[in-house]
Amino acid sequence: MKVVFADKVDSHCSATLERAGIEVDDVAGQGDEALLQALAEADGLVVRSATQVDAKLMDAAPELKVVGRAGSGVDNIDVTTATARGILVMNAPGENSLAAAEHAFALILGLSRNLGPASVRMRDGEWSKEGLMGVELCDKTLGVVGMGRIGREVAARGKAFRMRVLAHDPFLPDEVAEGMGIEKVDLDLLFSESDFLTLHAPLTDKTKHLIGADSLSKCKKELRIINCARGGLVDEGALLAALEADKIAGAALDVFEEEPLPEDSPLRNNPKILLTPHLGASTSEAQEKVALRIAEQIAAYLNEGTIQNAVNLFSVDPEQAAMLDPWLKLAEGMGRMHAVLAKGSLEEVSVELSGTVLDLPGPALVSGALQGLLSGFLSREINLVNAVSAAEEHGLKLAEVRGPDPEGYLGLIKIRVSGDGGERLISGTVYAERYPKVVQVDEFFIETPLKANMLFYKNDDTPGRLAAITSSIAAHGVNIADLALGRDKDSGTAFSALHLDAPLSEDALEALRSVDGVTWAQPASFPSDT
């Protein structure tokens, strides 16, 4: 396994990966050609915010399995394209939250006391206080847009400075706001009443230019804006116009619409703007923490398949991963079994979960089922990351259903697949938290694990059929390891699942199909015991 570093990261990252037996190729700062060449055999890629992980870059990395962002934001990664190609995108959220929050508050303090221009004057040999009158934070109103980890840390610091704190976040629970002693408000109220406004929201189509001409027109003249989140949140032209017209008092920017900030940017020339070069996460502690975290996550994924802090897939902690693993194998195996038994085109897939399996992440099991199913139909590689997008791309209707408590089982998965060949149901469970088995195929109740060298067949349920079938298999020198049989008395039909010591030859399969009473037979082989 090889992981490429496209951007400079703390040395703990490479050390952690190498201890996990993973080769590291650090090409940070060596240019595009060196990066593209290194990616030719890369299984993983580590970036910060500088490298754009786009389709062109992914084209150069045919073996790429995971992109790790040493930080939280993934605006520089084409997550949609990565998902379609089965590439997991993960980040390290929270590890730099304190650093970012402290930097945002440092900018609040710097703006409040005009520290930027004051420092410039002193360096220029001046001793002048003119125009440097500041304001106190106590009793001022701090508006916080986005109350994730960073926003909450900033809000807590605002409260410590005895500020009134207003917050806007559609996902902020009322009880959390009440517990923090802050007011949850809409954007218009936040714009109109804030003395300081700090942004901690992701950049989306809805939040792009959140601070623009319209929102700035609603603000008081004393407002000072701080942005340590994403450059696109602020319309820089509108911000400059508002500052030059004295419609607001100041701004502090750590992120920009174009980075690095061009040398001739007018932002550099306005004394009311305090500028820093994207330093939000630039503390030694934060860089060490994100480096360790992303390295541990990448190693766990490449070596064990454990998924943590995924941006384009479900995430599970190690304890939950152990519980999920046998159910995930079961779902994938049942999907593969559906592919083996399918007739005609597919239209709908329904995954019904009941009992203890409801405590596990449903999307993971849906992805597992689709991975197994589509791998039997599509030539390209299908994995947990791209299974859902591949299904949607091919027009499949998907459903995750919460079922009633199962009778006779602690937990149960039912996968229904329908199309122009009709509908088929396969049900499965996990025994003793580690032994996955299929327990039902349509109207037939059986109990079988899914292994290599299997044979499924139907026959008339009459005396002597089983003996004739097993004799036919034995006549071709193949031993039967185990057999599971289900009967439907109404139709007089039996369905069997056999595990063989070796695969049947074409001649042996043809002979079996010609046995009197055998109505259908299909060999199958599953990649691992499920």
Rounded Cα distance between 450 and 310, Å, is 29
Burial of 247 (0-12, 13-18, 19+ CB in 10 A): middle
**Residue 67 phi, psi dihedral angles, 5° rounding:** -115, 125
Contacts 24+ apart (CB under 8 A), 421-429: 421/342, 421/343, 421/344, 421/345, 422/343, 422/344, 424/338, 424/341, 424/342, 426/334, 426/337, 426/338, 426/341, 428/330, 428/331, 428/333, 428/334, 429/330
**Residue 434 phi, psi dihedral angles, 5° rounding:** -150, -5
* CA 68 vs CA 118, 175, 301, 324, 447: distances in Å: 40, 34, 11, 23, 41
Kind of pairing, strands 88-91 and 44-47? unpaired
Rounded Cα distance between 60 and 58, Å, is 5
**Residue 488 phi, psi dihedral angles, 5° rounding:** -120, 105
Rounded Cα distance between 72 and 48, Å, is 9
Please report the beta strands in 185-270, taking only residues with DSSP state E, as ranges in sequence order. Answer: 196-199, 224-227, 250-253
Burial of 515 (0-12, 13-18, 19+ CB in 10 A): middle
Element (H, E) at 277: none
Kind of pairing, strands 422-431 and 23-26? unpaired
Burial of 443 (0-12, 13-18, 19+ CB in 10 A): middle
Please report the beta strands in 240-376, taking only residues with DSSP state E, as ranges in sequence order. Answer: 250-253, 273-275, 346-355
Q: Three-state SS for 160?
A: helix
Q: Which single residue is written with the structure tokens 């004057």?
A: 121
**First-to-last C-alpha distance (Å) of the chain:** 26
The DSSP bridge partners found for residue 417 are 349, 424
Please report the beta strands in 405-492, taking only residues with DSSP state E, as ranges in sequence order. Answer: 411-419, 422-431, 435-441, 444-448, 454-460, 480-488
Residue 163's nearest CA partner among 186, 149, 180, 175 is: 180
Can you say how many angstroms the Cα of residue 502 is from the centroid of all Cα atoms in its chain?
40
Burial of 260 (0-12, 13-18, 19+ CB in 10 A): exposed
Q: Are 290 and 70 within 8 A, CB to CB? A: yes
Q: Write out the catalytic residue numbers.
A: 230, 259, 278
For the record, the structure tokens of 456 come out as 């499924």
